[in-house]
Structure 1
Amino acid sequence: MFCSTKMLKFSLFFLSFFGLVLVSVFSVDDPVFNDEIMGLIVFKAGLQDPNHKLISWNEDDYTPCNWEGVKCDSSNNRVISIVLDGFSLSGHIDRGLLRLQFLQTLSLSGNNFTGFINPDLPKLGNLQVVDFSYNNLKGSIPEEFFQQCGSLKTVNFAKNNLTGKIPDSLSLCNTLTNVNFSYNQIYGNLPSEVWFLRGLQSLDVSNNLLDGEIPKGIQNLYDLRELSLKKNRFSGRIPEDIGGCVVLKSLDLSGNFLSGGIPQSMQRLNSCNSISLQGNSFTGNIPDWIGELKDLEILDLSENRFSGWIPKSLGNLEMLQRLNFSRNQLTGNLPDSMMNCTKLLALDISQNHLDGYLPSWIFRKGNYHGLEVLDLSSNGFSGGLPSNIGGLGSLKILNLSTNYFSGSIPGGIGELKSLYIVDLSDNALNGSIPFEIEGAISLGELRLHKNSLGGRIPEQITKCSSLTTLVLSHNKLTGSIPAAIANLTNLQHVDLSWNELSGSLPKELTNLSNLLSFNVSYNHLQGELPVGGFFNTISSTSVTGNALLCGSVVNHSCPSVHPKPIVLNPNSSASNSSVSSKYHRHKIILSISALIAIGAAAFIAVGVVAITFLNMRARSAMERSAAPFAFSGGDDYTNSPENDPNYGKLVMFSGDADFADGAHNLLNKESEIGRGGFGVVYRTYLRDGHAVAIKKLTVSSLIKSQEEFEKEVKRFGKIRHQNLVALEGYYWTSSLQLLIYEYLSSGSLHKLLHDNTNKNVLSWRQRFKIILGMAKGLAHLHKTNIIHYNLKSTNVLIDSSGEPKIGDFGLVKLLPMLDHCVLSSKIQSALGYMAPEFACRTVKITEKCDVYGFGILILEIVTGKRPVEYMEDDVVVLCDMVRGALEEGKVEQCIDERLLGNFAAEEAIPVIKLGLICASQVPSNRPDMSEVINILELIQCPSEGQEELLE
């Protein structure tokens, strides 16, 4: 079919073209069918024009002069210019353009043209400008291109995929003034014949693979203004005759392998305003005559081997704007004469051997008032920082790191309103961080590590709202970490390690949604690590060295405490909680959900105490018994010595039970991937290479007998559904039980919804797919008479295709029939998902408690909010908030703002209503899961149902 379509298109094109040829033969005098229209239409026929830029190119027109991108000579209406820059065109540059005999300018820059360069184009005798830059042309530059170049002046092939050598015929095109072959893969030598182009004004062959020496003879280019040979592989010395290019404005030889000194003749380049020799192997002193080039605005000699002192003559360069001498072997200090360089915008002399005190004239008002970058790092400067540092009002980057500066940080740093980066690290600074830092309102990075700074971290630092990096490690800072740091919502990297900080980590730090690293190791911090956001995945090395910190990350359990009861302040004002005042109509009446939550919390407190006691007994028993594994496959237990009670039995329901790393590596700390109400989860690999998740049950004292345990586990092992996590096997001893599940690398639904480090926002299609998949999985469980009991977003995993899989189902069947109020304290770790009947002893627990949790999950997925969100002195229950919004006709405002309006309202609003029905307070009002599936399939838009759900 595809081939037939292509043949049809080709036939139509051929007939059209042949028709044009016939008409042109018999209607030569008719302007409608002149060669120029035919050539342009043929050129267009070979292109793809996704943005319809060439829609005005109509073969029925009498003239192409009004076509987009086409310009004609007003005297004869002949096409003289085609400029199609940035039109997103693709295809080949067709020979049809050869019919445009009067064409002077052909510019196709910034498109996606492919194929080779047509060598016949210069035969258009009037052609002066050819610009094919920023395309995907390949092959070499044809020798024929420059052999009959007519009046060609400008050739630009930059940013393509050209290879081969620079053609020798280039020297034959005496009319050339501008040549640009940069950013290709051209190799070989630069032909010396290129210097025969006496009219050449600009030559750019940068970012290629050219090598060898720069040929002599460049002095012949009297009109050369710009020369760029940067980022090639040129070696040897700069040609001595380069001084003959007396009108040269810009010279860039950076990023090569050039050596030797700067040739004496360069002092004749009096018109030069930019010289870059960066990244070579030049040696010797920086010559004194450099100060004679009084038009210099940019001088970059960085990353070489220059030595000696910085010449005093630099003070003569009053036009100088950017000076970079970094990464050399310069000694001495900055000459006082440089105070005359008052137009400097950037001064970088980092990574040299300079020493002495910091020149005070740098910071004097009126001297360098426009200076934006000051980098004196990695030298030997000493003494104190000047108090008048605030004189550099335009400064954006200040780097004085890795020197020997001492004394305190001057408060004047707060006067630098434009300052973005401050790096004073690796010095001998003392005193405290000045509170005036709050004045640097543009500050993005603050690096003060490896000093002797003391005192507290000033709370005023929170006024620097743009801060992304805060590194204060290896100092002597004391006191607690200010909770207000949590207001710096742009923070990505925080390092407060190796200080003397005390107190607890503020819980508010979990609000830092952009956090990528947070290191507080080796301090005197104590208490529980924050839970949520970045801190759910923080590395143990980031908190080590704080003996009194507790939490799963440091493998140190926190002391048992009663959960904080939910308190709703009847007098809370709108200023404290706009959401609360919006949806709570009567200030003195609590919602039904909140009352039930309060009652449930009381029962949970009792349960936590009971379960904690039992778990302590279980852990003690496990420590006394380290049972080895006995491997078996299927239901064959003959390899397990039943007469040895300490010999464990490992059973896989299918495949080999052998583990890639051996049994002794299954439960190490490095393999831990999560913790839940029933136990700790680890990841390991089977011999066949596929990963599995192993849940170590931490409720050993509540487990039934081995016979009942194996009976239930085998039952669960037979349950297979695309929306349920598969149980692949188990391990048993009297003191240790393991459940082996399939491993899903994409993580949990909770992580996708609430982990602020996750940049991939779930689309509406993906969310609907997850809701429908969960419904199908839960319905399948209920068909097999299994109640989940513990449905929540952390127990819903997402596979690589975006399908949800419900995990942790049926685990309650492994435990004795405790009072369900006590049991709920173990398995219901989030009150927001708990059905009200869990708080009532007289109400029977049925599948409808799962339906309630499913309803809360629907609201969580659609709104992107947690089931319960704690405000300053209040609590917002998601179910109540959405119900209130529905009653006020504002339910669309509840939909996750990250969707940016990109959702189907005709689906989203009915789904929200379904979630509220499922989360009804009365169990009998909730639908069965089979009914839920039918409703969801009715809600799904027919047009969307045929599409791929994952966008």
Structure 2
Amino acid sequence: MSRSFGFFSFLVFSLFSFVSSNDLQVLLNIKSSLLDSNPGVLDSWKLNSVSGHCSFTGVTCDSTSSVTEIDLSRQGLSGQFPFASLCDLKSLEKLSLGFNSLSGTIPSDMNNCTNLTYLDLGNNLFSGTFPEFSSLSHLQHLYLNNSAFSGVFPWKSLRNAKGLVVLSLGDNPFDTTPFPEEVVSLKSLTWLYLSNCSITGQIPPAIGDLTELRNLEISDSDLTGEIPPEIVKLTKLRQLELYNNSLTGKFPRGFGSLTNLTRLDASMNYLEGDLTELRSLTNLVSLQLFENKLSGEIPHEFGEFEDLVNLSLYTNNLTGPLPQKLGSVSDFDFIDASENQLTGPIPPDMCKRGKMKDLLLLQNNLTGSIPESYSNCLTLERFRVSDNSLNGTVPAGLWGLPRVEIIDLTVNNFEGPITADVKNAKMLGTLYLAFNKFSDDLPDEIGDAEALTKVELNDNRFSGKIPSSIGKLKRLSSLKMQSNGFSGNIPASIGSCSMLSDLNMAQNSLSGEIPHTLGSLPTLNALNLSDNKLSGRIPESLSSLRLSLLDLSNNMLSGRVPQSLSSYKGSFDGNPGLCSMTIKSFNRCINSSGSHRDTRVFVLCIVFGLMILLASLVFYLYLKKSEKKEKRTLRRESWSIKSFRRMSFTEDDIIDSIKEENLIGRGGCGDVYRVVLGDGKELAVKHIRSSSTDSFTRKNFSSAMPILDEKEGRSKEFETEVQTLSSIRHLNVVKLYCSITSNDSSLLVYEYLPNGSLWDKLHSCKKSNLGWETRYDIALGAAKGLEYLHHGYERPVIHRDVKSSNILLDESFKPRIADFGLAKILQTNNGGLDSTHVVAGTYGYIAPEYGYASKVNEKCDVYSFGVVVMELVTGKKPIEAEFGESKDIVNWVSNNLKSKESVMEIVDKKIGEMYREDAIKMLRVAILCTARQPGLRPTMRSVVQMIEDAEPCRLMGIVISKESDVKSK
């Protein structure tokens, strides 16, 4: 008997040893496959481990030492995981690899892991389709979200997984499919995440059968129809996410029975009706219903919700007052009820608990004054109540809140002063007070709010002198003070505001001379000092500025108009004391040497002019024959001009310059010419022909011109788009001066950028050895240009063709965003998403989702910008033979992130050793910008902040001032 027992024990021990040895070998195979990409992560996985493989990091065994769980989530793993041998772990029940950077495809062998109950592959970088998994009948948790799976998902495999508790498939570009019926048969589900995975059609009534659901997320899809009434059966729901679909109708009757709901987001749909069904949802923490068609009043019960901290109802048709008890019993954090028809006062207690960050009530019909309680709201970051009928004085403490970043009170009836408390507003970046009745002096303490970037005080009743302390605002980019009662001198200290691009002090009572320090503002783009009492001479220093707008009219200026400013026609009218030798409407300037010298100068001018005329005639005859055909073509057309900026030239000046010797490039839809005006100013002109009979020599070129489809050149859409884009004013966006059009062609007149494009300097025969500081400045400037297009304009402008050849460089290598031929003005009623039937852009720069979904939003530009940054850091083109077939720079960079040494190796060798760490910081920004999933990419506003944070140490100790990251509404 004892001999038999001993033999049995030997067999069991041998079997356990065999199983243990086999599991150990599988684990070591996994380590060897990942070792090169992930040094250090699996150090504990050793053959001679004293405690055996069951002590390996992330490994759990049962009593027989068989591996039952592998949890390597959030370990920074990359490379390809060896799934093929994984199912040799016969007892494996849990595999968790979420939140890594694993890549490659999933083999069909995964179907052999039949004991799996928990599978998490979410938040990785896999590719291809997910295989059929009908054998995994024991699955309870399946996480595949945000892992770049594509193609057809095997929905039928869910029929054998009846025990699923969690199904998370969202944020994958699967093939479009109606709402899968297999999903609504999973009666045990508590968590269902199908957002952004190409689900279409209507939400099926059978959704009401999933009565165990706590979380239901089906946002960012193409769902239509109404919310099914059966949804009211899901009484255990805590979170319901339906945003960014095309749902219609009202909240179904009985929706208020979902009293366990803490988060409800049905924003960006077409829902209508009132909110009465929501007044019993007393456990709500966050309610997001913005951009719908909801109407009626906001239920007063919302003011009694003890947990409600986020309320976003903007862009609806809501009426009546805001609940006056709103926030009084909760740690209220955020409200945006802008763009409605709300009336009555601002609720006084939304910051009662001292937690509120954002109060946004723009564009309503609110009345009354700002409650005094908000002057003590120390957490407040944004306070925006513009376009209402509010009145009274602003509580003094509001001006000096320590965390406030934007105060927007525009278009109301506020009165009284800005108080000295503003000195405490150390984070205030934007101060919008235009079109009110504010009065009194501007306090000296405004200079202590050193984060200010934009100040708009226009159309008020301010008076007194402009304080010299305003020169302390080193980050100030826009200062608008027109239509007030300011008097005294313009402070010379304003010349210290080195970031200033727009200065408007028109229609005041300013006197004294124009300070010459204004000419030292390197970024000044617009200067308006008209309708004041300024006297003295126009400073010669203004000649150094490159202004798109200069208006000094209706003052008391005297003396000579500087020769270089004479092209600004109309800018000096109403100054009878001015004289000029070139502006005909002014008196000629009399030289102090007397008339005899004037006569000699006049004679010399005549002789010199005749010589020029003779030389010009000879030159004209020489060229006449060669340009005869082109001239005849242009002249027989009837031209009309639309100007978008102040111009010193006429249409004849441009048309006469469209000749062969001025040609600098040819493209698929027209030619590009360099035009030099009589005053030496250079322009770039694109001649776009719409006739299909014209033929050109096709070759690549870089210019400041948009690329347009031939038919688009004559369409209304072209006219509208050019008109819209022409109103853009930003230092880092190329200037469009005018369009000159005929029935058959168009001329677009741009500023000329002498250093060509970034592509030229990095990749072409014209490339130069750009230092890192220059590359950094180019990246920052281009980012600010895109930030303005996305956030600083009336509606977001999506470029759609961001690339290094569309980033042009001026004589100082300052960048300009150019080529808006593919740009889209994003409509406000589409939730930030626009569709197109043609994938626009350039191969190597196109965001992956644009290729498979033809959907475009700001994140497509962010991706393309990330590629440009990779070009700057690596010196490589977006597509290189060394990357391999079907690979681009994004894949190449991703595959070289194995170690610090390999990362250093991809940095351009032309970047000095002392700057290589700085270049790596920028590479991190580029990697974030090129995230495969759009939702993981930062906004351009955040990109600008990250680039500023990555600023290199300047050899000469020069530091660029950082603009504050002002949040938009």
TM-score bracket for the superposition, by shorter chain length: 0.5 to 0.7
By how many angstroms is 1:204 displaced?
A: 0.9
Q: CA deviation at 1:625?
A: 9.8
User: RMSD of the TM alignment (CA)?
Assistant: 5.2
3-state SS of the aligned residue for 1:90? strand
Deviations 1:116-173 (A, max 9, x none): 333432532332322222222233333x224433344232332424243561322431
Q: What does the per-residue CA deviation read over 1:446-495, in whole Å, with 9 as the maximum and x for residues that have no partner?
A: 21122233333322122223333322233343444433223233434443
Offset of 1:228 from its aligned partner?
0.8
Comparing 151-160 and 253-262, the one that deviates more: 151-160
Cα distance in 1 between the residues matched to 2:772 and 2:598: 34
Measure the CA separation in 2 of the matches of 1:304 and 1:86.
Answer: 42
Change (3 A) 1:154 1:799: closer
Q: Deviations over 1:381-416 (max 9, x none)?
A: 123334444243433221111001223333232463
Unaligned runs of 5+ in 2: 1-13, 562-590, 636-640, 650-659, 666-671, 681-751, 762-767, 782-808, 816-910, 918-969
Change in 2 beyond 3 A, CA 1:463/1:283: same
The partner residue of 2:524 within 525, 529, 538 is: 538
Q: After superposition, where does 1:68-467 map in structure 2 within 5 Å?
A: 68-73=57-62, 76=65, 78=67, 80-91=69-80, 93-142=82-131, 144-165=132-153, 167-186=155-174, 187-287=176-276, 289-336=277-324, 338=326, 340-359=328-347, 361-362=348-349, 367=352, 369-414=354-399, 416-467=401-452
**Deviation readout 1:677-720 (Å, 9 max, x if unpaired):** xxxxxxx992243776969899xxxxxxxxxxxxxxxxxxxxxx
Give the whole-Å Cα distance in 1 for the aligned partners of 2:597 and 2:124. Answer: 67
Aligned in 2, Cα 1:902/1:248: closer, same or farther, shift over 3 Å? same
For 1:795 and 1:226, locate their aligned partners in 2 and report how far apart those are by CA, in whole Å.
54
Conserved 8 A contact 1:505-1:529: no
Could you tell me whether the CA contact under 8 Å between 1:357 and 1:381 is conserved in 2? yes
What CA distance in whole angstroms lies between the structure 2 residues aligned with 1:479 and 1:660? 60
Alpha-carbon distance in structure 2 between the residues aligned to 1:464 and 1:174: 62
Identity within the alignment, %: 23
Q: Which residue of 1 aligns with 2:921?
A: none
* Cα distance in 2 between the residues matched to 1:798 and 1:649: 35
State the SS of the aligned residue for 2:390. strand
CA distance in 2 between counterparts of 1:351 and 1:621 reads 68
- CA displacement at 1:300 relative to structure 2: 1.9
Q: Does 1:527 align with 2:508?
A: no
Deviates more, 1:264-273 or 1:60-69: 60-69
> In structure 1, how many angstroms separate the alpha carbons of the residues matched to 2:300 and 2:811?
70
> What is the Cα deviation at residue 558 of structure 1?
9.7
Displacement of 1:60 after TM fit? 4.8
1:283 Cα deviation from its structure 2 partner: 1.2
Question: Structure 2 CA distance, aligned partners of 1:624 and 1:368?
Answer: 81
SS in 2 for 1:398: strand
**What is the alpha-carbon distance in structure 2 between the residues aligned to residue 311 and residue 517 of structure 1?**
44
Q: 1:414 to 1:42 in 2, by over 3 A?
A: same
Structure 2 CA distance, aligned partners of 1:396 and 1:335?
22
Paired residues of 1:383 and 1:406 also in contact (CA < 8 A): yes
Hey, what's the Cα distance between the residues in 1 that align with 2:501 and 2:613?
53
Q: Aligned with 1:145: secondary structure?
A: coil
Q: Distance in 2 between matches of 1:451 and 1:74?
A: 77
C-alpha contact (below 8 Å) 2:755/2:813 kept by paired residues: yes
The residue number in structure 2 matching 1:706 is: none
Deviation at 1:546, TM superposition (A): 7.0
Residues 407 and 697 (structure 1), Cα distance of their counterparts in 2 relative to 1, 3 Å cut: closer
What letter is aligned with 1:138? S
Shift of 1:378: 0.8
CA gap of 1:153–1:197, structure 2 versus 1, over 3 A, is same
State yes or no: 1:687 paired with 2:687.
no
- Residues 39, 448 of structure 1: CA spacing in aligned structure 2 closer, same or farther, 3 A cutoff? same
How far has the Cα of 1:89 moved from its partner?
Answer: 0.7
- Inter-CA distance 292–351: structure 2 relative to 1 (3 Å threshold): same
Question: What residue is the counterpart of 1:496 in the other structure?
Answer: 481
C-alpha change, 1:473 and 1:87, in structure 2 (3 Å) is same
SS of equivalent to 1:217: helix
CA contact (8 A) 1:241 1:265 kept: no
Asked if the contact 1:382–1:403 (Cα under 8 Å) also holds between the matched residues in 2, the reply is yes
Taking structure 1 as reference, are residues 79 and 427 closer, same or farther at Cα in structure 2, changes over 3 Å only? same
Measure how far apart 1:423 and its partner are.
0.9
Could you tell me which amino acid in structure 2 is paired with residue 394 of structure 1?
Answer: T
Aligned-partner residue type, residue 644 of structure 1: L
Task: Determine if contact 1:693/1:742 at 8 Å carries over to the other structure.
Answer: no
Change over 3 Å in CA distance of 1:246–1:120 after alignment to 2? farther
Partner of 2:784: none
Question: How do 1:857-872 and structure 2 match up within 5 A?
Answer: none
Structure 2 distance, partners of 1:140, 1:342, is 46
State which of 605, 611, 614 in structure 2 corresponds to 1:644: 614
Cα gap change, 1:692 to 1:169, in 2 (>3 Å): same
Query: SS in structure 1 opposite 2:663?
Result: coil
Paired with 2:381 and 2:63, the residues of 1 have a C-alpha distance of 52
Does the CA contact (< 8 Å) of 1:43 and 1:95 recur in 2?
no
Contact between 1:122 and 1:150, CA under 8 Å: does it hold in 2? no
Give 1:28 deviation, angstroms.
Answer: 9.9
1:41 to 1:516, Cα distance in 2 relative to 1, 3 A = farther
Contact 2:33 2:81 in 1 (8 A): yes
Maintained 8 Å contact 1:416/1:440: yes
Letter of the aligned partner of 1:229 in structure 2? I
The alignment partner of 1:114 has SS state of strand
Separation in 1, partners of 2:779, 2:120: 40
Match of 2:70, SS state, is strand
SS of the residue corresponding to residue 254 of structure 2 reads helix
Partner of 2:455: 470
DSSP-derived class of the 1:231 partner: coil
- TM-score with structure 1 length normalisation? 0.57
1:539 and 1:547 map into 2 onto residues whose CA distance is 23
Q: Any conservation in 2 of the 1:422–1:445 contact (CA below 8 Å)?
A: yes
SS at match of 1:259: strand
- Counterpart residue type for residue 76 of structure 1: S
Separation in 2, partners of 1:745, 1:496: 37
* 3-state SS of paired residue (1:351): coil
CA distance in 1 between counterparts of 2:600 and 2:329 reads: 76
In structure 1, list runs of 5 or more residues that go unmatched. Answer: 1-26, 562-608, 629-640, 674-683, 699-740, 763-793, 801-897, 905-951
Aligned to 2:26: 39
Q: How many angstroms apart in 1 are the aligned matches of 2:530 and 2:456?
A: 17
Asked whether the equivalents of residues 246 and 271 of structure 1 are also in contact (C-alpha less than 8 Å), the reply is yes
In the other structure, the counterpart of 1:862 is none
- What TM-score do you get using the length of structure 2 for normalisation? 0.56
User: C-alpha separation between the residues in 2 aligned to 1:761 and 1:337?
Assistant: 45
Query: Number of residues paired by the alignment?
Result: 631
Moved more, 44-53 or 476-485: 44-53
